[in-house]
Structure formats: structure tokens, C-alpha cells
Amino acid sequence: MKGKNIIIGITGGIAAYKAAERVRLFVKDGANVRVGMTENAIRFVAPLTFEALSGNRVIRDMFGSEGASMEHITWGQESDLVIIAPATANFIAKMAHGIADDFLSTMVLAATARMLVCPSMNSRMYENPAVKDNLRILEQRGMNVMEPGEGELACHTEGPGRLPEPEDIFEQTRILLSPQDFSGLRILVTAGPTVEPIDPVRYISNRSTGKMGYALARAARRRGALVTLVSGPTTLLPPYGVIFRGIRTAEEMRQTVFDNRQGCDIVIKAAAVSDYRPKESAHKKIKKGPASILLDLVKNPDILALLGDMKKKSPCILVGFAAETEDLLDNATEKLRAKNLDMVVANDVSRDDAGFGADTNIVKLIYEDGRVEESPLMTKDEVADLILDRIKTLL
Ligand code: PMT
């Protein structure tokens, strides 16, 4: 968001309080945020909150001293995106019918920037045909309307009408402002560890947190792909806008990957799959007994190798990861060949700033034709974009 100019319009609904967190998210990510409010919005949250968070003055009055330099015209023409959130039924109606009776509605009418409208209201109001028609008009005019969430509303009823969470509005904005160079492509990403049960309370797993795979899924979605994320257990929230399939064991991952692989243009396997699992998982907790016991392990299916075998029959770009603590290049190249990959992302997991759990990563990209490209140390989000850039050249 660095260098982006974002206008946030806040109208008079209880969800106005959520706008504070949203402004903070955008500012933290480097955007220049300016906030416009309606008089009704000010009844819910004070403009001072947004002035403090954005570092810019809030405008609400067309004729006050704040509006003197034609901001009702310039804001919507000089910004990258105008977000109206929460958008009340009343404000949506004004937008649909060209009513300009305060600063915000006038600014919206004069705006040439892209527009994201986030309705938020009682579910009966949201389902009212008048509101539905007005939203349809906005969409027909090329505005982006975000579906409200469902659940318990401030008016103690249940149903659609909740303002999407600040993180989801932020992510939808990232999508709108990103180049859609993966539009029309289907990508399957795996992430996280697998968990192989020993008994009802113990398991074999590994240190994967899912950060790398989730970054890939998020980046691909931002760039317009239809993304399915197959993930082992992590503490991360599924990225906004991706189809999420949670699994636990390697066998469940195999099944889910093959259920979702059909029609995919690209498969990226960032998951750390357990190579072995206990031959049998006890139904009851194994009691403490002798000084040592043996755990009988059997090999798990190598999902990536199975995908590699299928490539002739149903072609796709296949990208694997290799997590190594020694002979990084040789071991990773061996995996590329053995599993019939188009590219392998070699990860030196002996470093503290790369691999498992870290927010950063440094990788070697090894291609089928033997080329090797080294990345600098980058955030996992940046590594994800680099991997996607290179996959684009293979398509
Ligand atoms: O999740 P984070 O904390 O962000 O950490 C990221 C990561 C270190 C897990 C990730 O960057 C990474 O390197 N993932 C691959 C880890 C791994 O299991 O590597 P491997 O060398 O054991 O496996 C090679 C490839 O085969 C991998 O793409 C793996 O998904 C796949 N594989 C492995 C075994 C198996 N039974 N089935 C598989 O599909």
C-alpha cells in the first residue's frame, strides 16, 4: 500500500467503530489515508479518532473551513480507491440516485477513482428489495460491492448485514489494487504441517507454521487467481477469498489434493508433509510403562511425486519446496528430478531467518533446465510474489 492514496468514507451505522482499526491497518501498511464522515457517523465515533490514526484532518462539512479547497472534487479524483464502509442503506440509496447533500455524497458523485462499497445494516433492511436494487445499480456502474458477513448483528438479530472485518476489507482493497496477472488461473497451494496420530493425545508433526504457504495463497488470490488452499493445522486464519480445505494427516492431504487438483493450472506444495506415520494409532491413551518403547512407522504417500507422475496425463505447472539442512542445491535438485517438477524452491531450514516459523525467507529457485536463481532475504510475502513472477514465465 506504500504510496497509495485511500479515501475512507464513514456513514452513520454502529459498525462505524470498526473503521478505526481499518484506518490503522492501511496506515501501518504505508497508505496515505484521508477520512470523510457524514454527520450521522460522527454520532457514533469522533472525527478526532481518525485524525489521530491517519495524521490527516477529517472532512464532514461541505461549507466548513475544511472544505475550502474543493476537496469534495479533488479527493475522489486524486485517490487510488474510495472505500465506503460502513455504507448504510440511506447512503447507498443516495449513491444510486445521485443525491449529493453533504460532503461525502458529493465527493462520491464527483469521484473518478475506483470505489469499494461495504454495506452494513440490519438483515431485514439488507434484504429489502429497495436496497438490493440500489446495490445492483452500483454494481452495474462498475462499483465493487463487498458481501456483508452473516451472524449476530448489533440489533440482536441474526443474518446478513455485518460489516466485513477490517482485515477482509484491507485484503479486498489489496486485490483491487494489484495487477490481475493470474486472472483466470486456478492454483492449488498446500501449507502447514501434517499431524500423524500415535494415540488420542499424541502425534508426530513438524515445525511448519503455514506462513510460507499462506503467503503464496494470499499473493495468488491478490493477483486474480482462483485459489484452493489445503492446509494442515496452523494458528493462521484462512486468507480472505481463497477456498480453504483443512486436513490433519498426510493421507487426508493426499485425498484432498487429488479431490481438488482437477482443472488446476498450477500446484505449489509448500506443506511439510510427514514422511512417516505410526503404523497403528492406538484408540486409547498409551500408558507409561517400560523404560523404552518402539514406535513402528510406515511411509506416507509422497503426494508431490504422485502429482509428478500424473503430469503427462493432466499437465500443470508443478512447484515443490525442499527443506534441507545440508547440501541444499544437490538435495533440492534431486527432488526436482525425482518428482518431475517444473521448479523447486530450496529452503535452508538451518537458518533462523528462513524456513520454519520465520517471517522472512531466503530461497534458491531451481528450474527444470538446471538454472538456479538466488533470492535475497525477503519477507515471505515478497518471496511468494517472486515465486509467482517466475511461475508466470513457465506458463
Ligand atoms: O510453514 P512455515 O513455518 O512458513 O515454513 C515453511 C516451510 C519451511 C515448511 C516451507 O518453506 C518448505 O520448505 N516446505 C517444504 C517442507 C518439506 O517437507 O520439504 P521436503 O524436502 O521434506 O519435501 C519436498 C517436497 O515434497 C515438498 O514440496 C513437500 O510438500 C512434498 N512432499 C514431501 C513428503 C510427502 N510425503 N509428500 C509430499 O508431497
Q: Is 209 in the pocket of ligand 1 (CB under 6 A)?
A: yes
Q: Is the CB of 211 under 6 A from ligand 1?
A: yes
What pLDDT does 68 receive? 54
Contact in structure between 2 and 30 (CB atoms under 8 Å): yes
Task: Confirm or reject: Cβ of 347 under 6 Å from ligand 1.
Answer: yes
> Rounded to an integer, what distance in angstroms lies between the CA atom of residue 53 and that of residue 71?
20
Q: Which fold has domain 186-394?
A: Rossmann fold (3.40.50)
Nearest-CA residue for atom 20 of ligand 1 = 322
What is the distance between the alpha carbons of residues 345 and 341, in angstroms, rounded to a whole number? Answer: 10
Output the CA 233–ligand 1 centroid distance in Å: 14
Residue 74: CB partners within 8 Å, gap ≥ 6?
none
Whether the CB-CB separation of 37 and 58 falls below 8 Å is answered with yes
Q: Ligand 1: which of 214, 321, 353, 382 to mutate, most ligand atoms within 8 Å of CB?
A: 321
Mean pLDDT over each residue of the chain, to the nearest integer: 95
Where are the domains positioned within the chain? 5-177, 186-394
Contact 323, 335 (CB under 8 A): no
Strand partners, 37: 10
Instruction: List per-block mean pLDDT (blocks of 10 residues) for the chain, which spans 395 residues.
Output: 96 95 96 97 97 95 70 92 98 98 96 97 95 98 94 78 94 96 98 98 97 98 98 97 98 98 96 97 94 95 96 92 96 97 96 95 96 97 98 94
C-alpha distance from residue 5 to each of 41, 54, 118, 250, 263 (Å): 22, 12, 18, 45, 38
CA 332–ligand 1 middle distance (angstroms): 11
Atom of ligand 1 nearest to the CA of 361: 11
Q: Whose CA is nearest to atom 31 of ligand 1?
A: 304
Q: Is the CB of 323 under 6 A from ligand 1?
A: yes
Instruction: Confirm whether 5-177 and 186-394 share one CATH topology.
Output: yes
63-104 residue pLDDT tens: 876 555 788 889 999 999 999 999 999 999 999 999 999 999
pLDDT digit string, tens, across residues 222-255? 999 999 999 999 999 999 999 999 999 999 999 9
Ligand 1 centre to CA of 273 (Å) is: 6
Q: Ligand 1: does its nearest atom lie under 6 Å from the Cβ of 33?
A: no
Is residue 118 annotated as part of the catalytic site, yes or no? Answer: no
Is the full-model pTM beyond 0.85? yes
For residue 124 the three cell numbers come to: 431485514
Nearest CA to ligand 1 atom 11: 355
- Taking the centre of ligand 1 as the mean of its atom positions, its distance from the CA of residue 294, in whole angstroms, is 26
Q: Find, among 372, 375, 371, the residue nearest to 386 by Cα.
A: 375
Residues 112-125: tens digit of each pLDDT? 999 999 999 999 99
CA of 74 to the centre of ligand 1 (A): 50
Q: What is the residue with the minimal CA distance to atom 24 of ligand 1?
A: 322
Helix%, strand%, coil% for the chain, nearest 5: 35, 25, 40
Strands 81-87 and 114-119: parallel
Phi-psi region of 192 (alpha: psi -120 to 50; beta: other; left: phi over 0): left
Residue 321 near ligand 1, beta carbon < 6 Å: yes
Give the whole-angstrom CA distance, residue 394 versus residue 388. 10
User: In the CATH scheme, what is the homologous superfamily, with its name and number, of domain 5-177?
Assistant: Flavin prenyltransferase-like (3.40.50.1950)
In a 13 Å sphere around the CA of 88, the CA atoms on its Cβ side amount to 17
